[in-house]
């Protein structure tokens, strides 16, 4: 019965379906040693646009260098406010989970937390967009977005922000939404869109030559950091994206001259072979 369910974004990365990912790589000479060997991500800043990051969580390794939260202005005509979040709280645990995954892969990378959980449908899209806008302005090299907006009204705004990030040399790594349908900016061509594969291997990632969701990474039963210094086993595309964000940070640390489009190409060239 479950086979009749609408195909979701993880499907190309799961089980025997991975055979269909076979594809002639155009970059035969690139390997992971060249791409990320010997670097720990030092010199790169990764922004986590999420529920906040717990600064003192052991999984974050003291690498959280800045923490802000975004709130709607009292007057709805005004832009949302970006406020320093001195306490560096995570009211859910989700953002800390993403930060912990990135830190485990790129322990040298600096982390910036942008807390964007808004109160309602309209508010949350606007708050999310304002957080993304702020992170682009800061010159952050990699951003992890394990959330998306479904609002048709905000399509244009997110498209403009995705373009602006691309032109500002910032790589957006977005979790694909589990349910097909509008999902911005995760379905835009300039971003790296990620779904979960079903292997218990954080170092395995797959490239799918059929967009929009081009990468599959570890997202099933992931041991993640959680609120109040805790840990949890969690599953979802949300936890696949930060694996790719971590590897993108390593690529940018080792090859500071590469652009977002080249990072994506290197991720594709060094992806795990589908038969592995």
Residues that bind other proteins (CB under 8 A): 2, 5-6, 8, 10-11, 14, 50-51, 75-77, 91-94, 117-121, 124, 146-152, 175, 177-179, 181-183, 196, 198, 219-221, 226-228, 230-238
DSSP H helices in 141-201: 155-167
CB 236 within 8 A of CB 216: no
- Please tell me the distance from the alpha carbon of residue 131 to that of residue 92, in angstroms, as a whole number: 18
CB 143 within 8 A of CB 46: yes
Smallest distance from the beta carbon of 198 to other proteins, in angstroms? Answer: 6
Q: Of 158, 160, 149, whose CA–CA distance to 183 is shortest?
A: 149
DSSP 116: -
Q: Of 194, 129, 169, 160, whose CA–CA distance to 45 is shortest?
A: 169
Nearer to other proteins, 17 or 32 (CB): 17
Smallest distance from the beta carbon of 78 to other proteins, in angstroms? Answer: 11
Smallest distance from the beta carbon of 94 to other proteins, in angstroms? Answer: 5
Nearer to other proteins, 208 or 270 (CB): 208
H-helix or E-strand spanning residue 240: helix 237-254
Smallest distance from the beta carbon of 144 to other proteins, in angstroms? Answer: 13
Nearer to other proteins, 99 or 251 (CB): 99
Q: Of 222, 249, 244, whose CA–CA distance to 94 is shortest?
A: 222
Q: Would you tell me how many other CB atoms lie within 10 Å of the CB of residue 76?
A: 10
Smallest distance from the beta carbon of 154 to other proteins, in angstroms? Answer: 12
Smallest distance from the beta carbon of 260 to other proteins, in angstroms? Answer: 23
Q: How far is CA 161 from the centre of its chain?
A: 15
Nearer to other proteins, 94 or 264 (CB): 94
Nearer to other proteins, 169 or 178 (CB): 178
Nearer to other proteins, 93 or 260 (CB): 93
């Amino acid at each position: 019965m479950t086979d009749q369910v609408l195909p979701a974004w993880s499907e190309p990365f799961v089980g025997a379906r991975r055979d269909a990912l076979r594809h002639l790589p155009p970059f035969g000479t690139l390997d992971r040693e060249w791409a990320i060997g010997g670097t720990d991500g030092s010199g790169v800043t990764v922004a986590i646009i999420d529920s906040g990051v717990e600064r003192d969580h052991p999984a974050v390794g003291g690498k959280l260098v800045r923490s802000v939260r975004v709130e709607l202005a009292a007057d709805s005509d005004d832009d949302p406010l970006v406020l320093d979040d001195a306490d560096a709280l995570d009211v859910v645990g989700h953002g800390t989970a993403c930060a912990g995954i990135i830190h485990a892969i790129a322990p040298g990378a600096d982390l910036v937390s942008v807390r964007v959980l808004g109160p309602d449908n309209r508010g949350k899209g606007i708050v999310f967009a304002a957080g993304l806008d702020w992170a682009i302005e800061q010159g952050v090299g990699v951003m992890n977005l394990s959330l998306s907006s479904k609002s048709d009204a905000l399509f244009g705004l997110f498209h403009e922000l995705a373009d602006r990030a691309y032109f500002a040399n910032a790589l957006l790594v977005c979790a694909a939404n589990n349910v097909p349908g509008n999902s911005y900016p995760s379905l835009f061509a300039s971003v790296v869109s990620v779904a979960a594969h079903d292997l218990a291997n954080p170092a395995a990632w797959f490239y799918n030559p059929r967009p929009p969701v081009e990468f599959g990474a570890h997202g099933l039963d992931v041991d993640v950091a959680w609120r109040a210094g805790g840990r949890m086993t969690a599953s979802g595309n949300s936890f696949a994206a930060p694996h790719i964000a971590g590897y993108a940070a390593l690529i940018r640390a080792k090859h500071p001259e590469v652009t977002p489009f080249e990072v994506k190409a290197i991720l594709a060239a060094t992806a795990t072979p589908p038969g592995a």
